[in-house]
Amino acid sequence: MAAEQIRKQSSAGTRAGIYIALVVVLLGTAGFWYFRSAAERRARALELTPEAKAYVQHLRLTDVGIKATESYLKQLVVEIEGKIANVGGRPLESVELYCLFHDSSGQVVLRERVAIVSQRNGGLKPQQMKPFRLPFDNLPDSWNHQSPQLVIAGIRFTG
């Protein structure tokens, strides 16, 4: 009788182990596919299509300025503020910039890709202007403390 009870407990423990292993495998597979699709989305975002390159002439960056403040943690936070205008005829879902920070000899010491227009903030309609604010707290000490070069890195059209 005791042997039969031990066998039942062993069988239940084996089944629980199988269920746990199955859950771990399923979660691992889901995580793999999630991160793979996220990497694919980022790779697609890196492209500036010929259509988007042609549309860059319809985007205007104005009132761009730089200011530095100290955070609560006594860390320097540099903010780039400005406005972007869509003077073309197409609505935009998102616009991304490369912010190129240089050192005193003109070499790029930091290249950050940032979104200034996104679906979350309503995109950018034709003939519309929106402000943007880009905080940076990771600038290298070799940065020359000048405004970065701003280059359109990506455009996604609505629709």
CB 90 within 8 A of CB 136: no
Q: The whole model's pTM is what?
A: 0.68
Q: What are the C-alpha distances in Å from 82 to residues 73, 131, 141?
A: 26, 6, 24
Strands 149-157 and 92-102: antiparallel
pLDDT score at 46: 45
pLDDT in tens, the chain (159 residues): 556 665 666 666 677 667 776 667 666 666 666 666 554 454 455 478 999 999 999 999 999 999 988 878 788 899 999 999 999 999 999 999 999 999 999 999 999 999 999 989 899 999 999 999 999 998 999 999 999 999 999 999 997
